[in-house]
């Protein structure tokens, strides 16, 4: 993965060897310590032998479960269980003293909240969205009994993958150096690394935006996209898969636009919006159905007001103006932002309004979802209620009428 990142991003920039080495070493050290998927072997316990002479029933084998725990990371699980092998207990054999053999012990694998569990063939076993959620990943074998000739069965076994997909109310979407980390720091108590080189955010960070009435909104700062992320360039899918598990998106763009290096194209703020939209669309088009807010950052810089007015005008006519862009940059559908908020993470300009709008947007989404659930439940009740036919005056309803 790191070699691909060098080939797809650093090498085309033709940076000095020292800069490449510094960035690459930083990436290896920090992202290497962050684990977002873990593959492991699980096997349910075998059943115990039955006792043919007395019709005894062997005990069933234990099951293997994955259970959501708080304050846990996949990295910690990897370190704690280096073999990544979990086998449940074997059921006891039936005996004269205990015709019904004891059941084998279950095994519980702790995992962080926000995990999806899949098998090697891509089958989804389930998701852990709340603390205490549990998923059966390997069932124990049946104990020997009359129907099986008193022979037990083996437990289920498989390779599974724990895949971390962050759960947050809002996900920050933006290109490197758009100011996402600075914005998260200004909005919450999170302390992501902030530096002047492009790839500052190397692992996801979640901050909590606090309100006076103790309401909390979670915001995820995710690794910066680069063009071609949908093809897994840069951090590609490692970034985009986390976007799937956020309720809303917060696009963050530099009001002046951006240019990663002297030999890469300059992108205006309008072009940045279209490129971000295109990358999300090419990865998974359903992502564009999420409610979105546009945050225009770095409004403390010179000529920021003129650039903002230009961007707002362009967004009002984005379908027409996008035709002037290269074909590969034009999304098939355009994001309709609920709000466009100019801010400065550096000076605090506009942050109070942004915090208010974040909460408002989420509460509006809650209201819509609640109404949709209520409507759906009413439809289900109406389908379940029996239809009673009312008698019509002047017509006989006798059972003898034919």
| pLDDT single digits (tens) 146-161 | 999 999 999 999 999 9
Whether residue 76 is found in the same domain as residue 201 = no
Q: Which pair of structure tokens corresponds to residue 183?
A: 């914005």
Domain presence at residue 18: no
Q: How far does the chain reach from its first CA to its final CA, in angstroms?
A: 78
- What sign does the CA torsion over 229, 286, 333, 253 have? negative
- What sign does the CA torsion over 165, 166, 169, 172 have? negative
Least confident of 71-85, 116-130, 181-195, 342-356: 181-195
Whether residue 190 is found in the same domain as residue 117 = no
Q: Which pair of structure tokens corresponds to residue 49?
A: 């032998």
CB 173 within 8 A of CB 243: yes
Q: Is the pLDDT of residue 269 over 90?
A: yes
Domain presence at residue 369: no
Predicted confidence (pLDDT) per residue in 333-378, tens digit: 888 899 999 999 999 999 999 999 999 999 999 998 888 888 887 8
Domain presence at residue 242: yes
Whether residue 222 is found in the same domain as residue 160 = no
Query: Tell me, what's the pLDDT at 176?
Result: 80
Domain presence at residue 5: no
Last residue of a domain, one of 133, 164, 195: 164
Whether residue 341 is found in the same domain as residue 229 = yes
Query: Tell me, what's the pLDDT at 390?
Result: 58
CB 1 within 8 A of CB 8: no
> Of the ranges 7-21, 238-252, 314-328, 355-369, which is most confident?
355-369
Distance CA 175, CA 13 (A): 16
Whether residue 159 is found in the same domain as residue 172 = no
Distance CA 118, CA 104 (A): 25
CATH number at residue 194: 3.40.50.300
Domain presence at residue 253: yes
Whether residue 208 is found in the same domain as residue 153 = no
Least confident of 66-70, 172-176, 211-215, 294-298: 172-176
Q: Provide the 10 A C-beta neighbour count for residue 30.
A: 15
Query: Tell me, what's the pLDDT at 387?
Result: 58
- Alpha helix segments (H runs only) across 244-350: 269-283, 304-316, 318-321
Mean pLDDT value across residues 84-94: 97
Please, what is the average pLDDT of the chain? 82
Predicted confidence (pLDDT) per residue in 98-136, tens digit: 999 999 999 999 999 889 999 988 899 999 988 899 999
Q: Which domain holds residue 207?
A: 168-363
CB 121 within 8 A of CB 130: no
CATH number at residue 147: 2.70.210.12
Domain presence at residue 398: no
Query: How many domains are contained in the chain?
Result: 2
Whether residue 310 is found in the same domain as residue 225 = yes
Q: Is the pLDDT of residue 29 over 60?
A: no
Whether residue 262 is found in the same domain as residue 203 = yes
Query: Tell me, what's the pLDDT at 248?
Result: 94
Distance CA 217, CA 232 (A): 30
Whether residue 241 is found in the same domain as residue 355 = yes
Whether residue 61 is found in the same domain as residue 200 = no
Domain presence at residue 388: no
Q: Is the pLDDT of residue 283 over 60?
A: yes
Last residue of a domain, one of 164, 197, 231: 164
At 390, give phi and psi (nearest 5°).
Answer: -80, 135
Domain presence at residue 154: yes
Whether residue 124 is found in the same domain as residue 221 = no
DSSP-assigned beta bridge partners for residue 248: 170
């Amino acid at each position: 993965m790191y070699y691909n990142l060098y080939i797809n991003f650093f090498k085309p920039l033709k940076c000095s060897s020292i800069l490449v080495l510094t960035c690459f070493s930083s990436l290896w050290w920090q992202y290497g310590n962050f684990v977002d998927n873990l593959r492991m072997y699980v096997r349910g316990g075998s059943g115990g032998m039955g006792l043919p002479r007395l019709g005894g029933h062997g005990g069933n084998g234990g099951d293997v479960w994955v259970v959501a725990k708080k304050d846990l990371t996949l990295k910690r699980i990897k370190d704690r269980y280096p073999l990544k092998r979990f086998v449940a207990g074997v059921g006891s054999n039936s005996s004269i003293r205990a015709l019904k053999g004891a059941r084998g012990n279950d095994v519980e694998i702790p995992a962080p909240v926000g995990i999806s569990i899949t098998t090697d063939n891509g089958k989804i076993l389930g998701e852990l969205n709340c603390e205490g959620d549990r998923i059966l990943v390997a069932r124990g074998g049946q104990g020997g009994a009359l129907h099986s000739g008193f022979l037990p069965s083996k437990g289920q076994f498989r390779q599974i993958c724990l895949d971390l997909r962050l759960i947050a109310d809002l996900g920050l979407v933006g290109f490197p150096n758009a100011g996402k980390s600075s914005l998260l720091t200004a909005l919450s108590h999170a302390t992501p690394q902030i530096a002047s080189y492009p790839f500052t955010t190397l692992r996801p960070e979640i901050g909590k935006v606090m309100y006076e009435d103790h309401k909390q909104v979670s915001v995820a700062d995710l690794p910066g996209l680069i063009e071609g992320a949908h093809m897994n360039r840069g951090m590609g899918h490692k970034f985009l898969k986390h976007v799937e598990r956020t309720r809303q998106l917060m696009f963050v763009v530099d009001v002046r636009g951006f240019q990663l290096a002297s030999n890469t194209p300059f992108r205006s703020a309008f072009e940045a919006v279209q490129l971000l939209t295109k990358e999300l669309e090419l990865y998974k088009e359903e992502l564009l159905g999420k409610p979105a807010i546009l945050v225009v950052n770095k409004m403390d810089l010179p000529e920021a007001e003129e650039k903002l007015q230009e961007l707002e005008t362009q967004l009002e006519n984005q379908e027409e103006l996008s035709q002037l862009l290269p074909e590969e940059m034009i999304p098939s559908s355009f994001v309709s932002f609920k709000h466009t908020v100019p801010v400065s993470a550096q000076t605090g300009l506009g942050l109070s309004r942004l915090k208010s709008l974040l909460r408002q947007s989420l509460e509006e989404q809650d209201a819509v979802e609640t109404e949709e659930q209520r409507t759906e439940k009413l439809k289900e009740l109406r389908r379940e209620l029996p239809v009673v036919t009312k008698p019509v005056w002047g017509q006989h309803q006798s059972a003898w009428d034919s």
